[in-house]
Structure 1
Amino acid sequence: MTRKSIPLQVDDLSHFSRALARQLGEASPPHLTLMNMLARAAGFQNLQHQRAVQAAAGRLAQANTAPSADHRLIERTLTQFDASGRLLRWPSRRAVQTLALFGLWAVFPPDTPMPETEVNRLLLAEHEFEDPATLRRTMISCGLLTRQRDGSNYRRIEQEPPTEAKALISRLSARRKQRSALATAGPEGRATRR
């Protein structure tokens, strides 16, 4: 006859060991010794080991729910853009390049086929060094854009951006909104804002 396991959930080991000590009466070992015995019975080396394992599990669970961003990488990438959200230069570091391309990817309309001339126009409006071909090719190789073989239709590849890209896109969006507001205000609005 197989024996069924009976699960036991204890919310507070200290409270549980005190209740057990009361049941054992005079034969009960000291509180800390009893807590170590209970921890060993649960498969841990001792109480400290149990605390360490549970603390690590809590940290890992928290890390899975909210991935931390590489703020230094975001900061380095932001320096490649001007105050209006335009890419100033082609970054030399690959990680910064990729993240900067996510900043450009965000300005492409989702699920919209675009001819190469429209892609070039959009990219020229978002960078200063006038090389849309490099940007197009690199965005395709990074999996941010796709195109037909004849180059007639480009389309943004929809995806969940990495944590760093989300932070960068958010900051660049604010800069681009400022640029848009200044452009719609006309020459008078620009003069008054200086």
Structure 2
Amino acid sequence: MSKSPMPLYVGDLSALACNLRSQLQESESVPGHVEMLNLLVKAGGFRNYQHFKAQYDARRGLDLPEQEYAEINYKLVKRIVRLFNDEGYLTHWPKKYSERVICLWVMWSRISAKKTYTECEISELLEQQHLFEDHALLRRLLVDHQLMTRTADGREYRRVEVRPPAEAVEAFKHIRG
């Protein structure tokens, strides 16, 4: 058996559970490793493990982008979305660190990539994104969290191109900006 990860995505978890449960009830003993793999992929809609692996290999052979369904903390996303008003302004600075980080990602998403900003320009841009009037805090935290770089003298700022966490990407979809 291959040790390389082959993710199994299921559209309906309830149907998977029902199907898997009925297959387990029909078996006479506790299934072994290979039998369990077959039960799982059958419950997920494939004929057997070989069919699943062939589909997986074919998808990789076509160089299609990997399906990435990172677990998203939707409760956190909901709390983040509530921090922004209907116009997309951050109404107040959150107390929880996890919420602060995602708010910084939202600010990061509104900064143009590959553009160099002066301190005045980045301050003005950040001032237009929130209602609590502390653009210096946001500017400093964006640098501290390595979402932006600045020169030693603080004259030039640039956005750092990194992949945002799944919660931030989900928040981007719900916050006007």
- TM-score of the two chains, using structure 2 as the length reference: 0.65
1:136 and 2:139 aligned: yes
- 1:146 maps to 149
- 1:26 maps to none
1:109 and 2:91 aligned: no
- 2:174 maps to 171
How big is the shift at 1:47?
Answer: 4.9
1:46-65 maps to which residues of 2 (within 5 A)? 47-50=30-33, 51-52=35-36, 55=40, 65=68
- 2:100 maps to 97
Higher helix share goes to which structure? 1
How big is the shift at 1:53?
Answer: 5.3
How big is the shift at 1:145?
Answer: 0.8
- 1:80 maps to 83
Larger Rg, first or second structure (1 or 2): 1
- 1:118 maps to 121
**Percent of paired sites with the same residue:** 28
Aligned residue identity for 1:157:
V
CA distance in 1, matches of 2:107, 2:95: 17
- 2:22 maps to none
CA distance in 1, matches of 2:90, 2:143: 18
CA distance in 2, matches of 1:170, 1:151: 32
- 2:72 maps to 69
How big is the shift at 1:65?
Answer: 3.6
SS at match of 2:76: helix
How big is the shift at 1:170?
Answer: 2.0
1:6-17 maps to which residues of 2 (within 5 A)? none
How big is the shift at 1:115?
Answer: 0.3
SS at match of 2:169: helix
CA distance in 1, matches of 2:82, 2:125: 21
CA distance in 1, matches of 2:165, 2:106: 12
- TM-score of the two chains, using structure 1 as the length reference: 0.59
Aligned residue identity for 2:74:
H
How big is the shift at 1:68?
Answer: 2.0
- 2:50 maps to none
**Match 1:162 to one of 165, 168, 174:** 165
SS at match of 2:161: coil
Cα distance change on mapping 1:96 and 1:149 into 2, 3 Å: same
Tell me, which stretches of 5 or more residues in structure 2 are unaligned?
1-26, 45-66
Two-structure CA RMSD over aligned residues (Å): 2.6
- 1:31 maps to none
CA distance in 2, matches of 1:151, 1:136: 11
